[in-house]
Structure 1
Amino acid sequence: MNVSFSELDFLKPELGAGYTGQGTHFAVFSAHAEKIELCLFSEDGSKETARLPLPKREGDIWSGYIEGLGPGTVYGYRAYGPYDPHNGHRFNPNKLLLDPYAKQVAGEILWDDALFGYTIGRPDGDLSFDERDSAPFMVKGVIQDPAFDWDGEEAIRRPWTETIIYETHVRGMTMTHPAVPDELRGTLLGMASDPIIDHLVKLGISAIELLPIQYFVDDRYLVERNLRNYWGYQTLGFFAPQSRYLKNGGITEFKTMVKRFHAAGIEVLMDVVYNHTAEGSERGPTLSFRGLDNLSYYRQSPEKPRHTYDTTGTGNTLNVAHPMVLRMVLDSLRYWVGVMHIDGFRFDLASTLGREYMEFDREGGFFDAIRQDPVLAGVKLIAEPWDIGEGGYQLGGFPPPFREWNDQFRDDVRRFWKRDGGMVPTLTERLVGSPVQFNHSDRAATSSINLVSAHDGFTLMDTVSYNEKHNEANGEDNRDGHPENHSDNMGAEGATDSADINSARTRRRCALFATLMVSQGVPMILGGDELGNSQTGNNNAYCQDNEIGWLDWGSASDAFLDFCRKMIAFRKEHPALRQERFLSGEPDESGRAEIAWYKPDGSRMDDNAWSNGELRLIGAHICRIAPTGAMPESEMFLVLNAGEECEVALPTGTGPWQCVLNTAQDDAFLARPARDREMIAAQSVVAFIPQGPGDG
């Protein structure tokens, strides 16, 4: 291939490979490199056809422009500089490097020792220098044409109070659905197919949250065990969709998916991993960032720069405190919003992103940069509020406009329904949006992302079917995964033919799901919970790209699916359940409080009741006291009974009441007039609203 860089003084501010219509401009960051070569390849990536040193350097940006070079061109980089691991430098031009800004990734990583910058097996380990060419085993970038017809597509920007999140996986959602065409299963186009969208619309979902779909790597140790990185938390390309999710290899398929979801009124959120990369520790491979500028891209141990500093449990931590690494993260986020039309992000191990040097700082550079950014400040931002480093658990510590995954909601709700003692006070905190954690700094009552299950941990069905985790298929002797699941098998470990046990499990699942839907905050449903999906007790299915990790559409329970649909609709019908501000227990001028707690005898909770560790029932009188001209007032009396059947006196001064929800009944939503005293069944959620004119 006879190509060369233009001699014109052509400098674009964007990094990456940018197609201009007449040619392509290349730009890459490295503060410590001495030379960077652009490598061009044949269409199939098998043959290197040219090596061209990037001719320009301004500051730490290396760049060049090739006229006539266009979309479809396959490329990578080689970086020259010091190989000095003791001081954090690991340049090795024998290793082909993926452009950090590549918009599409071609090929697959073929694990070989040549992918490592040092020689595996040498006594001096990562201090050695490997001279083998890694290009035959390495993925490459592909130049893209950004053109796409977005005609008629608009961002939804739904308020948090109206948001119902559905966390799911592209392959898991589509691989066994009988109505998804075979050729689309496991792909983005399959995710956006009519059967999947119809299911989500009928369920009442307003936003899907997709497990990582940025380009990620299958770890070598998994490949050697014939497993895959199913979840995708090993990102290598922050701008490119995962190749295996593309049917024909083009990124327009991603845009098509987003456009179809938006047309159905569903927002698309991405689970993103900016806390670490797939390159692992200093003993990991040299695939991109390590070879371009290890000292800049990764945090190094303060005492020994040879070693990466790890707060993520993966071997490395991305150095977001560095301005150019922070720029890469922000450029990536803006790309997915501006070019791909994504509606928001869930940040994996987000505490790491808030670390200034080593400690978490809610006023740090990452948060400041996002909050002032006119593109990013307006999309949905969700933090996983922890990492494994010292001081990493930061639930409630993130600044607005971030929302946060609330694992305490999950644990406390599970414990309440499995009848642990002394759980009523903590349950009431969860029902009103966890104000101890979030009611500060003018944060909204929607700051808590409530969940009773997520991809990491037991499914809802497994929560009521297993006492112990069963991760044997992962090949780690069942040592992986959380040991504390707050689960209860109800009398048998796993699937059973016992009608009594299955009935009890269904009742508890209904109670758990209903609790999620009647709580203040933003509910998040794990994909498949509405179907009764089980992972046979595996609570860490990160490597199970098979029937364990996929949704089992064939065994779906129509009755429970119908309950979930109606329960979501119930939440939407009652504004008292989804308020923007935290509820106050102080009465207003009319003497009405937004929240009041009741004992079974109809009296208010007192100190003795709050300290009663044997209490398994709580009544909550919730009001939405509307300002003039706003949504009409909404009022509800909720009873959550984890114990035995109990008679409950309904509050006086309001009424008469009608019962509009009883999760212990076959028809949970059959409305009827209520009596002054009602029998509340064991393991049930019951709701009453004032009886209007003509009711009953």
Structure 2
Amino acid sequence: MRNPSLHRYATRPGLYLTDDGGADVIVWSETAQHMWVSVIEDLHEPSVYYDIATPLAQDHTLALPESLQLYPVAVREVPKVGLRETLFAMQGPEYGMWSVHIPYLKDGMRYGIRADGAWNPKRGVQFNPYKILLDPCGKGIDGQMQLVPEAFSYECSIDAQGNISGSAYGPMSKLDSLGFVPLSVVIDDRDEHKHAGDPEHPHVPWSTTILYELHVKGFTQTAPWLPEELRGTYAGLAHPQTITYLQRLGITSVELLPIFAKQTEVAVAQRGLTNYWGYSTLGYFAPEPSYATARAQRAGAQAVRQEVIDMVRALHEAGIEVILDVVYNHTCESGNEGPTVCWRGLDSASYYRRQNDNPGALLDTTGCGNTLDFSNTRVISYAIDSLRYWAKRIGVDGFRFDLAASLARLDGQFSKHHPFLYELRTDMVLGNLKMIMEPWDLGESGWRTGQFGIPFAEWNDKFRDATRTFWLTDIHNLDTGLQPHVGMQEIATRLCGSADLFATDPGRGAVASINIVACHDGMTLGDLTRYSHKHNEANGENGLDGSDNNHATNFGVEGPSTNPAVNTRRQRAQLNLLGMMLMSLGTPMLLAGDEFGNTQFGNNNAYAQDNEISWLDWSWYHANETTCEHQSAQMHQLLAVRKLIALRKTIEQYQHEEFFTLLSLLGLLKPSSRVQWYLPDGTTPMERDWFDHHVRAFSMRLASKHRKDVIIVVNGTIEDLNMKLPDDCRWRLLWSSSDQEPSCPLNTESWLMHQDSIALFTVE
């Protein structure tokens, strides 16, 4: 029997369901010699393909490649794993595309790809028809990879501890991987446009955006307001009480750690751990099934996907944007010795970057064993198709690109004019979304903060490091008689939107600076004040993982303390960090839990901790806050953060995208009509003051064209200071990290500012 004709031109990879009850499947591989689509059915169920397929002999090995090349459609039974496989020979390649029309293919059916070609791993070519592969454009995934020799393309053995013996450059494995690796699942989304549409996207302006980075499972796993079946799930994040918490906090946009389907790396699995964060992508179109409810997981990939859509819709109805953390810089297949589940088996030489002088070795600028090759236009198109799918079909509002410098390398060098960045800027769908870059990677000259240009925002690591140093390690230095490292010039530059980094591109505003003091990658804000050193013992890497440069201080006690004086200083330090972030020009981003001082027990790299280390501890939380606001430090801090976020939203000075001063470009002393600076005695700083690290107390007045001026008062010393405020008006204290709360406007010329604290005033 000949394969039915394709219903479309094979120009864009994917699975396209057709009106005749079948589907066109298109896969890209430039160097494969033969390809098949395998439809997988359970052995105990009757096959829909018996009448059109040629039976192959039953055995535990795959009769490839010779047998399959004889038949356009063949079927084999594999009793060892209880599955039946019907293989459809694909036609091609045409411009690198392979295609086939498969009859009777419908929603929920499982399938995979097999590819045959040369086996020459020393040249980066690793085709192995014995390995069944995921459709790289598959919208659903079923199953997990098992750590067994069948999952690897090369001959190997694995002992009881998971240690692998074998060489990736050795002989090709002839063990069939069917039943030991995940499969793609058909998703029928053709009629979605006929149903009730997504609520209007919130379209929150950058100038009013408050970002909140969270992990779907970690945020909801112990939430006391959720029923057990919703904890750790998309549905738990969509729950009305979860959304109420986010709204009351003042969040406008949630930034979700990866929710693409993921796979735990072999090295992590060998230590008995799992990849919790999800920066190990298994499928760029499929959501992670483990975050769905148990009921949805039982129902299948379509139900899992629907829970993601429902989550996005629920957040949109509440006016909250959904931004996804996405990982296009590498895949879950790790280095040369990693498993083969998709891209390595489809066309390793085209998908992955390789060392110029050793094409058999993968080039790694990500620290994860491989790097996708974004100099290949097909890889760029693949990523763009994935992003458009999540934007159009799932309805998300933006993306945060992990290790984005890896996505913008041409001939190994970073370029802000990279074709991928150009596609993002000009795409009719993506160009209207929020796009945030993590502006570095681990490659040569990988630090690129401030260099991505319009319309991209970027995580500002200089803001993070300067803020931590000023409020934490420098305070420790002053306590112990050592010299501080950050003074007025650096901290003022960060308060004003980091013009030294982001004003280099005409038209780019302060909102391009994503101001962070803590994120998933590192210590929590609370732990920065509890631990001077990382405590990553649970990761099983002998303390070699995670940064040693945390800019943290424990205020005299490593870990939890019962000393009231220590805890008072710790909480004030946390509010200093949060106050600095929320009072600075730019776009603030909170790490979930920092608003109440959440802990990871000093672990600054909790990527593999799917347990109480990473899950937010809600044991202190009570929905009826009026009865407990004075009962816990967590609630006290939460209320303080809520108040400051609410104040930020009402202050006109923060509703603009432009810089108020170009400190580093135009000179520190250049006059500005929008900002004025004062020393504690009320005088204007001299040039020497800006560069003196011991000048750590000052005031910053932000003028408003239409509303009241505000003034930010900083005391970065370890002494209480009388801070003289401008005497041309009366000032009212709005917020203070040291809990100073006068009930009336100031009638005195100066304000007694507590040691190491920050405060916000407005004109009365």
TM range (shorter): over 0.9
Shift of 1:584: 3.0
For 1:27, the equivalent position in structure 2 comes to 26
For 2:58, the equivalent position in structure 1 comes to none
Preserved contact between residue 649 and residue 678 of structure 1 (Cα < 8 Å): yes
For 1:65, the equivalent position in structure 2 comes to 101
* Structural mapping, 1:571-582, within 5 Å: 571-582=648-659
In structure 2, which of residues 509, 517, 524 is the aligned counterpart of residue 452 of structure 1? 517
Preserved contact between residue 145 and residue 151 of structure 2 (Cα < 8 Å): no
For 2:504, the equivalent position in structure 1 comes to 440
Are positions 1:490 and 2:555 aligned together? yes
For 2:590, the equivalent position in structure 1 comes to 525
Relative distance call for 1:581 and 1:303 in structure 2 (3 A) is same
Give 2:131's aligned amino acid: K
Q: Hey, what's the Cα distance between the residues in 1 that align with 2:442 and 2:690?
A: 34
In structure 1, which of residues 325, 344, 347 is the aligned counterpart of residue 398 of structure 2? 344
Preserved contact between residue 499 and residue 661 of structure 2 (Cα < 8 Å): no
More off after superposition, 527-536 vs 632-641: 632-641
Preserved contact between residue 154 and residue 167 of structure 2 (Cα < 8 Å): no
Q: Hey, what's the Cα distance between the residues in 1 that align with 2:85 and 2:556?
A: 65
Structure 2: which 5+ runs fail to align?
Answer: 44-80, 158-164, 298-302, 476-483, 622-633
Give 2:146's aligned amino acid: L
More off after superposition, 465-474 vs 10-19: 10-19
Give 1:679's aligned amino acid: L
Relative distance call for 1:342 and 1:124 in structure 2 (3 A) is closer
Shift of 1:41: 0.7
Relative distance call for 1:519 and 1:65 in structure 2 (3 A) is same
* Structural mapping, 1:395-410, within 5 Å: 395-410=449-464
Q: Hey, what's the Cα distance between the residues in 1 that align with 2:743 and 2:337?
A: 62
Give 1:663's aligned amino acid: S
Are positions 1:165 and 2:211 aligned together? yes
For 2:732, the equivalent position in structure 1 comes to 658
Preserved contact between residue 5 and residue 55 of structure 1 (Cα < 8 Å): no
Relative distance call for 1:571 and 1:117 in structure 2 (3 A) is same
Q: Hey, what's the Cα distance between the residues in 1 that align with 2:416 and 2:198?
A: 38
For 1:134, the equivalent position in structure 2 comes to 177
Shift of 1:226: 2.0
Q: Hey, what's the Cα distance between the residues in 1 that align with 2:744 and 2:286?
A: 50
For 2:606, the equivalent position in structure 1 comes to 541
Preserved contact between residue 661 and residue 670 of structure 1 (Cα < 8 Å): no
Give 1:313's aligned amino acid: G
Are positions 1:424 and 2:488 aligned together? yes
SS in 1 for 2:431: coil
Q: Hey, what's the Cα distance between the residues in 1 that align with 2:336 and 2:409?
A: 21
Shift of 1:294: 0.6
Preserved contact between residue 660 and residue 670 of structure 1 (Cα < 8 Å): no
Shift of 1:661: 2.1
Q: Hey, what's the Cα distance between the residues in 1 that align with 2:99 and 2:492?
A: 58
Q: Hey, what's the Cα distance between the residues in 1 that align with 2:129 and 2:32?
A: 10
Structure 1: which 5+ runs fail to align?
Answer: 626-631, 692-696
Shift of 1:662: 2.2
Are positions 1:302 and 2:356 aligned together? yes
For 2:697, the equivalent position in structure 1 comes to 617
Give 1:635's aligned amino acid: D
Preserved contact between residue 265 and residue 334 of structure 2 (Cα < 8 Å): no
Shift of 1:124: 5.3
Shift of 1:9: 5.6
For 1:628, the equivalent position in structure 2 comes to none
C-alpha distance after superposition, 1:213-257 (max 9, x if no partner): 001101222223221100011112001001111221321111000
Preserved contact between residue 56 and residue 64 of structure 1 (Cα < 8 Å): no
Q: Hey, what's the Cα distance between the residues in 2 that align with 1:336 and 1:135?
A: 29
Q: Hey, what's the Cα distance between the residues in 2 that align with 1:579 and 1:32?
A: 52
Preserved contact between residue 259 and residue 324 of structure 2 (Cα < 8 Å): yes
* Structural mapping, 1:497-512, within 5 Å: 497-512=562-577
Shift of 1:655: 1.1
Q: Hey, what's the Cα distance between the residues in 1 that align with 2:198 and 2:345?
A: 43
Q: Hey, what's the Cα distance between the residues in 1 that align with 2:149 and 2:134?
A: 17
Relative distance call for 1:51 and 1:613 in structure 2 (3 A) is same
Q: Hey, what's the Cα distance between the residues in 1 that align with 2:138 and 2:743?
A: 55
For 2:710, the equivalent position in structure 1 comes to 636
For 2:661, the equivalent position in structure 1 comes to 584
* Structural mapping, 1:215-230, within 5 Å: 215-230=261-276
SS in 2 for 1:410: helix
For 1:553, the equivalent position in structure 2 comes to 618
For 2:188, the equivalent position in structure 1 comes to 145
Relative distance call for 1:150 and 1:126 in structure 2 (3 A) is farther
Q: Hey, what's the Cα distance between the residues in 1 that align with 2:593 and 2:744?
A: 28
How many pairs were matched up? Answer: 678
For 2:321, the equivalent position in structure 1 comes to 267
Q: Hey, what's the Cα distance between the residues in 1 that align with 2:743 and 2:42?
A: 63
SS in 1 for 2:316: helix
Relative distance call for 1:123 and 1:513 in structure 2 (3 A) is closer
Q: Hey, what's the Cα distance between the residues in 2 that align with 1:677 and 1:220?
A: 62
Relative distance call for 1:71 and 1:125 in structure 2 (3 A) is closer
Give 1:582's aligned amino acid: F
Q: Hey, what's the Cα distance between the residues in 2 that align with 1:408 and 1:497?
A: 33
Q: Hey, what's the Cα distance between the residues in 1 that align with 2:743 and 2:585?
A: 24
Shift of 1:456: 0.7
In structure 1, which of residues 489, 505, 515 is the aligned counterpart of residue 580 of structure 2? 515
Are positions 1:252 and 2:306 aligned together? yes
Relative distance call for 1:690 and 1:124 in structure 2 (3 A) is closer
Preserved contact between residue 15 and residue 23 of structure 2 (Cα < 8 Å): yes
Are positions 1:604 and 2:684 aligned together? yes
Preserved contact between residue 121 and residue 168 of structure 2 (Cα < 8 Å): no
SS in 2 for 1:109: coil
* Structural mapping, 1:674-685, within 5 Å: 674-685=747-758
Give 2:380's aligned amino acid: L
TM-score normalised by the chain length of structure 2: 0.86
Are positions 1:16 and 2:96 aligned together? no
For 1:565, the equivalent position in structure 2 comes to 642
For 1:84, the equivalent position in structure 2 comes to 120
SS in 1 for 2:362: coil
Give 2:188's aligned amino acid: D
Q: Hey, what's the Cα distance between the residues in 2 that align with 1:254 and 1:4?
A: 39
Preserved contact between residue 367 and residue 399 of structure 1 (Cα < 8 Å): no
For 1:694, the equivalent position in structure 2 comes to none
For 1:355, the equivalent position in structure 2 comes to 409
Shift of 1:284: 1.2
Shift of 1:675: 2.4
Are positions 1:646 and 2:721 aligned together? yes
Runs of 4+ in 1 over 6 A off after TM superposition: none
Are positions 1:112 and 2:111 aligned together? no
Preserved contact between residue 43 and residue 73 of structure 1 (Cα < 8 Å): no
Are positions 1:180 and 2:226 aligned together? yes
Preserved contact between residue 514 and residue 588 of structure 2 (Cα < 8 Å): yes
Q: Hey, what's the Cα distance between the residues in 2 that align with 1:363 and 1:233?
A: 26
Q: Hey, what's the Cα distance between the residues in 2 that align with 1:536 and 1:126?
A: 42
SS in 2 for 1:110: coil
Are positions 1:55 and 2:55 aligned together? no
Are positions 1:462 and 2:516 aligned together? no
More off after superposition, 375-384 vs 104-113: 104-113
SS in 1 for 2:107: coil
TM-score normalised by the chain length of structure 1: 0.94
Relative distance call for 1:43 and 1:579 in structure 2 (3 A) is farther
- Cα RMSD of the aligned pairs, angstroms, is 1.9
Q: Hey, what's the Cα distance between the residues in 1 that align with 2:678 and 2:171?
A: 70
Shift of 1:269: 0.4
Are positions 1:477 and 2:554 aligned together? no
Give 1:493's aligned amino acid: E
Give 2:691's aligned amino acid: S
For 1:629, the equivalent position in structure 2 comes to none
Shift of 1:13: 4.0
